Amino acid sequence: MTDAPKAVFQKPAVLGEPRELGEPRELGEPREPYEPRGRLDPAGFERHVQFRTVLPPPDLARFIEHFWVIRWDSALGHYDSGEVMHRPYVDIFLSAQESGIQGTFRGKRTYSAAGSGRIVGVRFRPGAFHAFWPHEMADLQDKVVPLSAVFSWADAKGIAELLAADDDAVIATLLERIRAASPVADGTLEELNAIIAAVETEPGLTTVSAVGEAFGRSERWLQQAFRDHLGIGLKWLLQRKRLLAAAAEIRLSEAPDWVGIAYDLGYSSQQHFITDFRTVLGETPVQYHKGLTR
């Protein structure tokens, strides 16, 4: 595996806890306590980076998971943040250095926070960006593309004018411009999000066939729906669930039981577990444990 790509906190892969739509909330209300399951060193992130999320208004809650703002300064020096996506999200983001549309990245990404800066972004619910993106969703996989590929206002001048405002004003303008695009969601969006939420919470859903049986869908339908609306397969989601569960268990232990972790997660051997972990997270479980912020 090649070295993980690096960037100056410009292409964030911020990750969050799934949210039921539930009661409508007003724009500007903070989210519930945020569980960053995709961050590989959450303690280090909290020490170096300020992170804020804002819920969307009811009419856009079907499409938007949350708005978010990241800020950092040079007070604590240089910081590298390793992250992986735990869900097939799409984000749009704006910063003085770079702006874009970030698709689902399948491997670990490392971001470097240096100096001072701010990024404002929108996290779309899994499958929701299908209503905006005019191409195959797989075309966004492992990529960042210009905002202007979807939003005509997002040339260099339009982005600079927007970033001249404060955080809440930027979020309010993004909201109106997303609303003006008049997105339309089909019923598959809600079903896919229900499937994703079930995979994350139900211990028995560990294979594509088990998911299909639970939802009364064929494996072929699942594969097609994930490919069309998410651009990434259900097997990716199932593997990510296992590996992030392993990472969380490793973070909680001073002396992890490597064999026990592999067995509990359903791996046939410790070596298979190590191989999968290194392929996605870019290091072995032991290396990951040693590098954690305590």
Dihedral Cα 231, 197, 237, 136, nearest 10 deg: 0
Which of 42-51, 160-169, 237-246, 248-257 bottoms out in mean pLDDT, i.e. has the lowest? Answer: 42-51
Average pLDDT over residues 233-246: 89
Residue 179's pLDDT is 95
Asked whether residue 259 is domain-assigned, the answer is: no
Residue 31's pLDDT is 44
Q: Where are the beta strands (DSSP E) in 73-137?
A: 79-83, 90-95, 100-102, 109-113, 117-124
- The answer, yes or no, to whether residue 234 has pLDDT greater than 70, is yes
Asked whether residue 14 is domain-assigned, the answer is: yes
Residue 21's pLDDT is 31
Please, which pLDDT band fits residue 141 given cuts at 50, 70 and 90?
very high
Residue 74's pLDDT is 63
Residue 30's pLDDT is 44
Domain span at 145? 6-180
Q: Give me the chain's average pLDDT, please.
A: 83
Report residue 151: phi and psi, to 5°. Answer: -110, 115
Asked whether residue 147 is domain-assigned, the answer is: yes
Please, which pLDDT band fits residue 110 given cuts at 50, 70 and 90?
confident
Residue 176's pLDDT is 96
Average pLDDT over residues 46-68: 91
Asked whether residue 161 is domain-assigned, the answer is: yes
**Which residues face 69 on adjacent strands?**
52, 120
Asked whether residue 206 is domain-assigned, the answer is: no
Average pLDDT over residues 157-164: 96
pTM score:
0.80
Asked whether residue 18 is domain-assigned, the answer is: yes
For 140-163, b/e burial (b = at least 16 CB within 10 A) is bbeebeebbbbbeebeeebbeebe
The two three-digit tokens of residue 258, written as one number: 């490597």
Residue 294's pLDDT is 61
The two three-digit tokens of residue 61, written as one number: 């809650």
55 or 3: which carries more pLDDT confidence? 55
- The answer, yes or no, to whether residue 17 has pLDDT greater than 70, is no
Asked whether residue 202 is domain-assigned, the answer is: no
CB 137 within 8 A of CB 130: yes
Residue 13's pLDDT is 32
Cα–Cα nearest to 45, from 71, 19, 26, 67: 71
pLDDT in tens, 168-213: 999 999 999 999 999 998 889 999 999 999 998 898 898 999 999 9
Asked whether residue 11 is domain-assigned, the answer is: yes
Residue 77's pLDDT is 66
For the chain, how many structural domains are there in total? 1
